[in-house]
């Protein structure tokens, strides 16, 4: 299954470290991030999940839940969580999905269909494609997707920045420029006419080109 921006995030029911969840019900009326890792008890994944645990308060401020996934069973997650806290200094308090039958991984196109129907006997290398991030809005639609190779740890500060951009641009008719960070100037989207922009931004804007109008970030 190929997923695209603005597609409805596939719903599913799965076992997690915090019990059985129905994904859409779990999201509720807020935002959510589903992120996967190749395998428990592996080095890069340990650093990633620990860092994400440290960032959890920042996501909570933004009304965004986070949930992890790998093709390991839930019992493995619980045991591995002790290693994460010991080595990374943060306890994993968000749920982690156990997906040993690859149901969610395939639903979200994290693994080729030809890679089998079970995680049994698989190594981290076999799961090289399973390092994905999905940002999902309150409407249950996919707002952004990122996929990294097994050997490259993700930049979760960038995921947080991307969430800020998604939330801002969902609320206002603006776009965020290259390397934008929270509080910096934004761009008025071309679909907003100058006449409409004058009503929205009575203090005016900086026009580098007719299609490139810079304005302070709206509240």
Please state, in angstroms and as integers, the Cα–Cα distance from residue 168 to each residue in 89, 93, 165, 181, 219, following that order: 31, 27, 5, 11, 9
Catalytic residue status for 64: no
- Residue 155 CB partners (closer than 8 Å, separation 6+): none
- Report the candidate in 101, 108, 81, 146 with the shortest Cα–Cα distance to residue 23: 108
Which residue is catalytic, options 32, 45, 84, 136? Answer: 45
Beta-bridged to residue 89, according to DSSP, are none
CA distance 36 to 21: 16
Residues serving a catalytic function are 45
């Amino acid at each position: 299954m190929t997923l695209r921006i603005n597609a409805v995030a596939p719903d599913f029911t799965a076992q997690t470290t915090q019990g059985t969840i129905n994904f859409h019900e779990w999201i509720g009326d807020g935002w959510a991030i589903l992120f996967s890792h190749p395998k428990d008890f592996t080095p890069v994944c340990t650093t990633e999940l620990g860092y994400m645990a440290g960032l959890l308060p920042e996501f909570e401020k933004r009304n965004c839940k986070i949930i992890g996934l790998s093709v390991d069973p839930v019992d493995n997650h619980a045991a591995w969580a002790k290693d994460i806290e010991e080595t990374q200094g943060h306890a994993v308090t968000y749920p982690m999905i156990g997906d040993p039958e690859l149901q969610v991984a395939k639903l979200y196109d994290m693994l080729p269909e030809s890679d089998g129907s079970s995680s049994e006997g698989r190594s981290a290398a076999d799961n090289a494609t399973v390092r994905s991030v999905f940002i999902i809005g309150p409407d249950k639609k996919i707002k952004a997707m990122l996929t990294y190779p097994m050997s490259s740890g993700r930049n979760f500060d960038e995921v947080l920045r991307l969430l800020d951009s998604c939330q801002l641009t969902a609320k206002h008719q603006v776009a965020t420029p290259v390397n934008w960070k929270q509080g910096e100037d934004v761009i008025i989207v071309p679909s907003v006419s100058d006449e409409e922009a004058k009503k929205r931004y009575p203090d005016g804007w900086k026009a580098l080109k007719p299609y490139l109008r810079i304005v302070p970030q709206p509240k």
